[in-house]
Structure 1
Amino acid sequence: MYDPTRLAALVAVAEAGSITRAADRLGYTPPALSQQLTKLEREAGTALLVRHHRGARLTEAGEMLVARARRVLDELERARHELARLTGLSGGALRLGTFPTAGVHLLPPALSAFRRAHPDVLLSVADYDPPSGVTAVAAGEVDLALTHTYHPAEPVPVPSSVGLEPVLEEELVLVTAPGHALSSASSRLPLDHLAGQPLISMAPHHPARREVEALLAEAGASPALLVPTPGYAVVCALVSAGLGVAVVPEMVARTAVTPVGVRPLEGGRLRRTISVAHRAEEVAPAAEAFRALLRGAFGRAGRAAAP
């Protein structure tokens, strides 16, 4: 039996024309999505995609499977909608909190799927810089909030009334200007190779990244430009312009608007975990349905991306 998540991935590639664009739409990293497609091809016993420099196209077998996958996925959506009406999701509201990266790359496809399954639920979205989304959940301002933690880092206290469910774990990677010597290879870069490199330093005194910045300093990276808060779009633009190198989450690097070189770091020690915060003792049907959707949409990708 084919995994519906992998079928949805194949349909997304067929519609987007490339694995990179499909991954952006679904909220995966391209390597994680490619891994899901490879598993689907193993299940099918034949090639479903032909990858080329401009993207990817379906084989004859892929065209046949996509046609049937669309019907299967449509039936699953109808079933979710009918079950929602039986379980009280024919109305009500869902208030969500998010932070910028998740709001741009993770939340839209998840909300789109939720809206298709539960069209009568009123949705609202608010921005919270982590960890303030956790506080907003505890205060009842929102039902759920996407938040993040970096590793290594000092543990952040979480109110006893709030639970954190990991959704996605990603490595931090090096970004450089296009053509930079450090990004010319695909192998993992030892941290000590950053010695003497001009680093665009992201909030060395900000609690979320303090330990990450300390490790980069120990490796010998030389702060050349300080961005007081981790505004990743700005950081990638500065890197692209040749003002220094930076270490950012892989999702940020792969979806940067400005061209950058990307290279993984040795050891996988630097990571970011994206979680959904929820009230631990309260079971609201809409919030529970959205958490289940997040698990289905990003859980496999999160485990695949983990070091």
Structure 2
Amino acid sequence: MYDATRLAALVAVAEAGSITKAAARLGYTAPALSQQLAKLEREAGAALLVRHHRGARLTAAGELLAVRARRVLDELDQARHELAQLAGLSGGRLRVGTFTTAGVHLLPPVLSAFRRAHPDVELAVTDYEPPGGIAAVVAGDVDLALTHTYEPSGSGPPPVGIVVEPLLVEELVLVTSVGHRLAEGTGRLAVTELAGRPLISSAPTHPPRRGVENALAEAGATPAVVCESPGYALVCALVSAGLGVAVVPEMVASMSSAPLSVRRLEPASFRRTISVVHHGKRATAAAATLLALLRGGFGRGSGGSGAG
């Protein structure tokens, strides 16, 4: 069965004439949209796009599928509209919490789909550095929130009545400046190879990162440059400038605007889980609808898509 999000991506490219323009329209990054299209081509068993210097055009197979996709998407939009009226989603407000990278790279396409289906629902998005989103849901400041935890870590059970539902699991990878010696080779790099190397750390006292920092320290990799901020943009910029290396989530590495080299680590137990925090069966109709979109878009197993 074809995924509606990927069908929408194909239609957007057909209408925009390029992956970059289609990504901007849908609220994706171009690499993320390309991944969706590649999955759709595997599902279809045929090439759907031909890239050229001015953008991209659909193949004959792509045109055929796009015609059908438009009909499917129109029917789904109509169904959402009718269900929204039944569920009382013709008004009201949905308050969403997120952390920065998820808010930039994961949430926009999902909120865009929600807005298309429920244009009368007012949206409010607030940034919370994890685990602040959990407290915000408990306090009733937001209806649901995206948060994350790191492995190794020591995260405890959620508060009573709160559900923390995993959506994505991504590896932490090594990022270096382009041409750095540690970037050489295609195999995994032993974490012990980081011993004595200038390591750039993102807020090592920040609770979600403590377990990772401690494990790196046990392997001999201790911070040489500390960024007193939980954000990764500065870390990647300093790495790109050659001031050290860093261990960051795979999505952060792939989406960085600064040029970097990336290498996977051994052991592969350094991970980050992105989760959605909600009230379970007590969730509002709007929150339950957004949850369904989040599960449909990201809740199908682990992958290299996460943030910080």
TM-score by length of 2: 0.87
Residue 302 of structure 2: aligned partner: 303
- How many Å apart are 1:88 and its aligned residue? 0.9
Structure-2 separation of matches of 1:214 and 1:16:
48
CA 182–142 in structure 1, closer or farther in 2 if over 3 Å, else same: same
Worse-superposed segment, 241-250 or 68-77? 68-77
In the TM superposition, what whole-angstrom CA distance separates every residue of 1:15-68 from its partner, at most 9, and x where no partner exists?
Answer: 48449x85996669958963x545533443322234689986543322332343
CA 39–225 in structure 1, closer or farther in 2 if over 3 Å, else same: closer
Counterpart amino acid of 1:174? L
Contact kept in structure 2, 1:24 and 1:105, CA below 8 Å: no
Residue 143 of structure 1: aligned partner: 143
Worse-superposed segment, 188-197 or 114-123? 188-197
CA 29–222 in structure 1, closer or farther in 2 if over 3 Å, else same: farther
1:32-181 to 2 correspondence within 5 Å?
Answer: 34=35, 37-50=37-50, 58-181=58-181
Contact kept in structure 2, 1:202 and 1:213, CA below 8 Å: no
Counterpart amino acid of 1:114? F
CA 233–43 in structure 1, closer or farther in 2 if over 3 Å, else same: closer
Worse-superposed segment, 2-11 or 172-181? 2-11
- Alignment pair present for 1:236 and 2:236: yes
Identity %: 64
- How many Å apart are 1:215 and its aligned residue? 1.9
Counterpart amino acid of 1:2? Y
In the TM superposition, what whole-angstrom CA distance separates every residue of 1:48-105 from its partner, at most 9, and x where no partner exists?
Answer: 2346899865433223323432332232122112211121111111111111111111
Structure-1 separation of matches of 2:141 and 2:46:
50
Contact kept in structure 2, 1:29 and 1:251, CA below 8 Å: no
Counterpart amino acid of 1:143? D
Contact kept in structure 2, 1:175 and 1:260, CA below 8 Å: yes
- How many Å apart are 1:7 and its aligned residue? 2.1
Worse-superposed segment, 159-168 or 72-81? 72-81
Contact kept in structure 2, 1:227 and 1:235, CA below 8 Å: yes
Worse-superposed segment, 148-157 or 36-45? 36-45
Counterpart amino acid of 2:232? Y
- Alignment pair present for 1:209 and 2:205: no
Structure-2 separation of matches of 1:259 and 1:13:
27
- Alignment pair present for 1:227 and 2:227: yes
Worse-superposed segment, 290-299 or 254-263? 254-263
CA 288–205 in structure 1, closer or farther in 2 if over 3 Å, else same: same
Aligned residue pairs: how many? Answer: 304
Contact kept in structure 2, 1:94 and 1:286, CA below 8 Å: yes
Contact kept in structure 2, 1:91 and 1:120, CA below 8 Å: yes
Q: Which runs of 5+ in 2 are unaligned?
A: none
Please, what is the CA RMSD of the aligned residues? 2.9
- Alignment pair present for 1:288 and 2:285: no
Residue 269 of structure 1: aligned partner: 269
CA 92–24 in structure 1, closer or farther in 2 if over 3 Å, else same: closer
Residue 260 of structure 1: aligned partner: 260
Contact kept in structure 1, 2:192 and 2:219, CA below 8 Å: yes
Structure-2 separation of matches of 1:43 and 1:222:
45
- How many Å apart are 1:305 and its aligned residue? 4.1
DSSP 3-state at the match of 1:146: strand
Contact kept in structure 1, 2:137 and 2:145, CA below 8 Å: yes
